[in-house]
Amino acid sequence: MSPNLVALAYLIASVFFILALKGLSSPVTARKGNLFGMVGMSIAVLTTLTITENWALIVACIALGGAIGTVVAKRVQMTAMPELVAFMHSLVGLAAVFIAIAAVNNPVSFGLPAILPMGSKLELFLGTFIGAMTWSGSVIAFLKLSGRMGGSPITFNGQHMVNLIIALAMIGFGLWFFFSDTTNWTAFICMTVIAFALGFLIIIPIGGADMPVVISMLNSYSGWAAAGIGFSLGNPMLIIAGSLVGSSGAILSYIMCKAMNRPFLSVILGGFGSDGGTVAVGDGEQKTHRSGSADDAAFLLGNADSVIIVPGYGLAVARAQHSVKELAEVLIEKGINVRFAIHPVAGRMPGHMNVLLAEAEIPYEQVLEMDEINSDFSNTDVVLVLGANDVVNPAAYDKGSLIYGMPILDTHKARTIMVVKRSMGVGYAGLDNDLFYMDKTMMVFGDAKKVVENMVKSL
């Protein structure tokens, strides 16, 4: 293809990517948005194959990677989706590092001068250290989300100072690489190794409750890494795609920071989750809770005029979304107003609960975000909490609590509250939930799917 046709094809692919993001902004158009994204990526890949001599090797690698991805996608459970996303981000960062190493080793094969100009060195420096930090940070996120590593923050004295010194050392080696007259492998390797270490150190002090924001942040990092490498390769498609991913991830991170009352700058620097509050200590008094059966819960639901269902991670673990849809249909047939309330960081990744409910084909108009429905809890007869914990914890209103100031779903304002959980265990933030001990709260213990199925039978 001629350069003009290549540029036109990349432009068309970019338009499809923008349409994909537009489509993904609403559950109603999300399927169409995914389709636009696939078409855009197909155009970009096919165009790239026309301008390379190694197309056979590239196609073979795509086939191998596609086969692995297909097997993983078919086998992965919905509860494992967050760690899968984190793992995918790590691969994007690692790919950026490998491309940068190849470009430094043989710049001519990438269309660069044999002696790298300063502009190319700067681009390679940015792409490499962002990619390296994305890879190692995503590995830690994967380990925490999958349970292979504890979700509690890992901290030590002087942690922020150590991170600052390491970051300055990384920048120092980057400047040495940048100002060297020839290819300075010592500076480049030291810079890359330090960036890998910094990625680990930035993520380990972040607690499990903040992992949804971490995933969004790493998604943004992976985009900027790709964009930086795109400048080095002179590939406008990579620059545009990386910038779209980077900017959209940053915007999502900002939205989620507001939802969790976290400072955005602190998120970017990886410092949140390690301080900013202490867990309130009880006075040693034994708390009591009220429990009931699925039949008791069904009786309360069947005699209500309005019901709000709050899904959480426990719903995903039990794979109870289809049973919940059946429950909602039975209640609606009885003339009861049923809606679903979604917290921005419910689950383990952005949109986790939305995806679950969409999988069960629950109508979008029944699913409301926190800002839309929070004022309605005080006028609601029954709230049914399914496996949610931290996002409904009234401790967010208590000074000294680890989650103080975090916006929550005001389920505690409803007339009657029912909570379905396996036990009285704490949530991902490690905090006890005062909601469970309120006089108007009834705990229903058991697997969410079995409990909901029994509710449906009773109704």
Active site amino acids: 390
Instruction: Give the contacts of 162 (CB within 8 A, at least 6 positions apart).
Output: 156, 201
Decide if 300 contacts 332 (C-beta within 8 A): no
SS (H, E, C) the chain: CCHHHHHHHHHHHHHHHHHHHHHCCCCCCHHHHHHHHHHHHHHHHHHHHHCCCCHHHHHHHHHHHHHHHHHHHHHCCHHHHHHHHHHHHHHHHHHHHHHHHHHHHCHHHHCCCCCCCHHHHHHHHHHHHHHHHHHHHHHHHHHHHCCCCCCCCCCCCCHHHHHHHHHHHHHHHHHHHHHCCCCCHHHHHHHHHHHHHHHHHHHCCCCHHHHHHHHHHHHHHHHHHHHHHHHHHCCHHHHHHHHHHHHHHHHHHHHHHHHHCCCHHHHHCCCCCCCCCCCCCCCCCCCCCCECCHHHHHHHHHCCCEEEEEECHHHHHHCCHHHHHHHHHHHHHCCCEEEEEECCCCCCCCCHHHHHHHHCCCCHHHEEEHHHHHHHHHHCCEEEEECCCHHHCHHHHCCCCCCCCCCCCCHHHCCEEEEEECCCCCCCCCCCCHHHHCCCEEEEECCHHHHHHHHHHHC
